Amino acid sequence: MEPKSLDWHAGPLVWIDCEMTGLDPRTDRIIEIAVLITNGNLEVMDEGISYIIRTDKEVLDKMGDWCQDTHGASGLTEACLDSPYTKDFVEQQVLNYIKRWIPKDRTGVLAGNSVHMDRAFLVGEMPSIVDWLHYR
């Protein structure tokens, strides 16, 4: 059964959480993204999606100590090396997922714990996602 799409009246929120190689959107990269969609009553629409992005070892080796330690201990660094998913593929899959629930652009509101930082990275690396959503 196809999910029921959410319109403006449903108040859809697109919850995005990214893991990055650091905190500078000009030089660091998104290495993992997870997305959940809720309606305005915070009812989760489904289990959401999550992707780890294939990242070159040279990029990962440039991470600062905190990222090296944290992503190394969690297994994310190794998962980035083994991932079959390119950034472009992930961007398209995330956008398709959002459009499946929210077929009209500028209807879903970008949400998240560190939404300002995640949005800064998405603008540079996955602009089609930011363009589809509403930020305020």
Q: Sort strands 49-52 and 13-20 into parallel, antiparallel or unpaired.
A: unpaired
For the question of residue 135 being annotated catalytic, the response is: yes
Catalytic residue among 51, 85, 97, 135: 135
Strand pairing class (30-38; 49-52): antiparallel
Query: How far is residue 117 from each of residues 6, 23, 45, 52, 131, measured CA to CA in Å?
Result: 26, 8, 25, 18, 16
Q: How far is residue 87's CA from residue 135's CA, in Å, rounded to a whole number?
A: 22
How does DSSP assign 100-112, residue by residue?
HH--STT-SEEE-
Q: Is there a contact between 51 and 73 (Cβ–Cβ < 8 Å)?
A: no
User: Which residues are designated catalytic?
Assistant: 135
